[in-house]
Amino acid sequence: MRTKSINKSEINHDWWVADAEDQTLGRFASRIAQVLRGKHKPQFTPHMDMGDFVIVVNAEKIRVSGNKEIDKTYFKHSGYPGGGSTKNLKFMRKTYPKRVIENAIRGMLPHNRLGSKIFKHLKVFAGQDHLHHAQQPKKLEM
């Protein structure tokens, strides 16, 4: 018995569209991260970019449970002394609705060059419309 390793030329990247309306943030991000990574494919290889492209629409309508709207915080630092700032989920959803989903998915991907390459396959849109109709994406069931 031999284990067949897939070649780069044999990889097929499909396009999927996922609707974030009334989906729970963590469960939704976990499913999207699996599709981006390619873990849903039988020929999954951990060291290669096997995943598909995912288009997320209605990012501003994602749902969270409990008091996360106020308690969940996002931290960033400018690099200067005293340059740290925090913002809560309510502010981020109102100001930058795409970043909420992007940050959740980015944390679930590998933290290396492969993860950075895979993350570029994610396209997030705040509203219902997206720019990738030419790729004929299939609907991703959640």
Separation CA 3–CA 7 (nearest Å): 13
Q: Partners of 74 in the beta sheet?
A: 87
pLDDT for residue 24: 97
Close Cβ partners of 36 (under 8 Å, ≥ 6 residues apart): 51, 52, 54, 105, 109, 118, 119, 121, 122
Alpha carbon of residue 130 to chain centroid: 15
Is it the case that residue 2 has pLDDT exceeding 90?
no
Bridge partners of 123, per DSSP, are: 55
CATH of 14-64+97-139, picked from 3.40.50.720, 3.40.47.10, 3.90.1180.10, 3.40.50.620, is 3.90.1180.10
Mean pLDDT of 89-94: 96
Q: Is 73 helix (H, G, I), strand (E, B) or coil?
A: strand
Whether 13 shows a pLDDT value over 90: the answer reads yes
Provide mean pLDDT across the span 62-73: 96
Q: Which two tokens stand for residue 114?
A: 């492969």
Residue 27 has a pLDDT of: 97
